[in-house]
Amino acid sequence: MTLLVTGATGFVMSVFARHWLSTDPSARLVVLDAAPLDAAAIRYFAPVAQRMRVVVADLTDPASWRNAIRAESITHVVHGATVTPLSRGTATEARREPEAENPARILDVNIMGTVAVLEFARTLPNLKRFLYVSSGAVYKNTGPDHPGEPLPEDGYVMPRRLYGISKLTSELVAERYGELFGFSAVAVRLSSVYGTMDRVTASRNFRHVPNRLAHMAAERICGAASGGDGTVRVNTLAAAGDYVHAEDVARGIDALLKCEKLHFGVYNIAAGETASIAELVEWAAEKSPGFRAMVASSETADIVQDPTLTGGMWGAYDISRITAETGWRPRSTRAAFQAYIDRLVAERGAVPS
């Protein structure tokens, strides 16, 4: 099987791309991205590099890449390339509105880039499935109707920002292309993803809370000067989110691609549970004794979150649909988070306690 992945030199898609190659020694991979592999990606893909090809081109200019990959016998397409204009986490970042910097580019890449990939996909004679990587950003800030229930795929959709608007638009466009041209098209909505290969790239400069806390804990374990005294300043301990590890996302996407028959057009991929800052700090302290959080003002805090955002896209996502269809389940948030700390420590050359 040959997979075309857009955006696989970045974060989540790189993790999925390596998973695809690592789980099937006969599988091949074609990566289409605006950026070449950076040093981190070169190291990450080294064990499977002989079975992958990277084409660097502008997604919105099909003439620059279509002929370069036409000869590949592509059987599956995962479209994950996107511009992610998010900026939250510190007081300074919270005052920025990144969507205002280049709104036309966001819409061009996120919508018309999707159309370009779909136009190519519909010409593939051996295409088994097209999977569009969407986001929980398509959901409202509130819901479900009964507090405490996980957020289902049906209903509660009302994006207010360009990113979410572009993701929902592309979901619908992909679904319609599948209907018009007779191929299986499905979308996945990801909750807040962190983990392996989570780093700053040209199209994404954002770190979710688990990423930041895991790095602080790992630095402390390894005795790095930047690790400080193990105290992280937060404006609240109550803020929470549905945080899912990129490696669990990779397994979920893989399961949907290989499932013989899918009964829905959209699937949540998430942890299915929320974790607060207080819980994440507690779990980090189990790896790095003495690690702790101190509540500070928003102006002086290292991490700034809004504790009132508890519903809709900010709450737990319902993952019963993908579990019932494929059997996929993520690790617990605690287990995945602590595994990420262990990985960061190993990368720094120390041994976790």
C-alpha–C-alpha distance, residues 52 and 27, integer Å: 9
Say if strands 275-276 and 240-241 run parallel, antiparallel, or are unpaired.
antiparallel
pLDDT of residue 78: 98
pLDDT of residue 101: 87
pLDDT of residue 352: 44
pLDDT of residue 85: 82
DSSP-assigned letter for residue 5:
E
Q: Note whether 243 and 254 are within 8 A (CB).
A: no
DSSP-assigned letter for residue 138:
G
Q: What dihedral do alpha carbons 41, 43, 44, 50 form, nearest 10°?
A: 100
Q: Which of 293, 142, 271 is nearest to 194 (CA)?
A: 271
The dihedrals phi and psi of 28, each to the nearest 5 degrees, come to: -125, 160
pLDDT of residue 169: 98
pLDDT of residue 90: 47
- pLDDT tens for 110-149 read 999 999 999 999 999 999 999 999 999 999 999 998 888 9
E-strand spans in the chain? Answer: 2-6, 28-33, 52-56, 76-79, 129-135, 185-190, 192-194, 231-234, 240-241, 243-245, 266-269, 275-276, 292-295
Q: Note whether 113 and 174 are within 8 A (CB).
A: no
Q: Note whether 79 and 132 are within 8 A (CB).
A: yes
C-alpha–C-alpha distance, residues 233 and 216, integer Å: 11
pLDDT of residue 229: 75
pLDDT of residue 87: 55
Q: Which of 113, 56, 50 is nearest to 79 (CA)?
A: 113
C-alpha–C-alpha distance, residues 352 and 219, integer Å: 11
pLDDT of residue 325: 97
Q: Which of 127, 113, 72 is nearest to 257 (CA)?
A: 127
123: Cβ contacts below 8 Å, ≥ 6 apart: none
Two tokens at 266?
């959209």
Q: Which residue has the tokens 């109707």?
A: 145
pLDDT of residue 353: 39
Q: Note whether 54 and 33 are within 8 A (CB).
A: yes
pLDDT of residue 86: 62
SS3 for 2-64 is EEEEECCCCCHHHHHHHHHHHCCCCCEEEEEECCCCCHHHHHHHHHHHHHEEEEECCCCCHHH
CATH number of 2-204+242-273+315-331: 3.40.50.720
pLDDT tens per residue, the chain (353 residues)? 999 999 999 999 999 999 999 999 999 999 999 999 999 999 999 999 999 999 999 999 999 999 999 999 999 999 999 998 865 544 455 556 788 888 999 999 999 999 999 999 999 999 999 999 999 999 999 999 888 899 999 999 999 999 999 999 999 999 999 999 999 999 999 999 999 999 877 666 678 999 999 999 999 999 864 546 789 999 999 999 999 999 999 999 999 999 999 999 999 999 999 999 999 999 999 999 999 999 999 999 999 999 999 999 999 999 999 999 999 999 999 999 999 999 999 998 754 43
